[in-house]
Amino acid sequence: MTQATPTTVQAVTNSDAASGTSQFLSPVVVELTALAVNAKQAHWHIRGTAFIAVHELLDSIVSHAQEFADLAAERIIALGLPLDGRIRTVAEKTKTADLSAGFQPADVVIREMIAQLDTAIATVNTAVTELDDIDLVSQDVAIAIAQGLDKDRWFLFAHISE
């Protein structure tokens, strides 16, 4: 009995599609990684009567951001390309605004975290639009992430809307 041995590794898709996907999903990974770190920071420093509700909501946003970043990163890797998600790279490439340092009232934390979410959502929406002509499976990944981020934003916004 002879065993077949692979002589070459086949790419899942062509290199142009992989490169295009990476171009638009890599910034998504960067923004979601920044969102996860900043939401955890905010989670530790929130103060006020809405403390427990927002504290717990921020924990779920951290989990979601980590899951979404992993989803986008794994899509890039599945297409055969590397990804740079190191904290230094994230710090250099994120477009998110800084959070206020130290303890903050809930309304400040919520507004700052909504701004963080808006940055991530804009990056994801760019990926959704651009991936339409590049790779529909990757676009589906971006659409799923957009849906989750929109829901997280809605939950936060509900705390300050009138």
pLDDT, mean over the chain: 92
Q: Are 76 and 22 in contact (CB under 8 A)?
A: yes
| Confidence band, pLDDT 50/70/90 cuts, at residue 3 | low
| Confidence band, pLDDT 50/70/90 cuts, at residue 6 | very low
Give the residue from 123, 104, 106, 111 showing the smallest Cα distance to 31: 123
| Confidence band, pLDDT 50/70/90 cuts, at residue 97 | confident
Residue 14 has pLDDT above 90, yes or no: no
Domains of the chain in start order, with CATH, are: 15-157 (1.20.1260.10)
C-alpha to C-alpha distance for 135 and 92, rounded to whole angstroms = 27
pLDDT tens string 143-157: 999 999 999 999 999
Q: Are 90 and 28 in contact (CB under 8 A)?
A: no
Residue 90 has pLDDT above 50, yes or no: yes
Phi then psi for residue 98, to 5 deg, are -70, 150
Residue 22 has pLDDT above 60, yes or no: yes
Q: Are 55 and 146 in contact (CB under 8 A)?
A: no
| Confidence band, pLDDT 50/70/90 cuts, at residue 1 | low
Strands (E), the chain: 46-47, 104-105
Q: What is the structure's pLDDT at 11? A: 42
Which tokens belong to 37? 């770190």
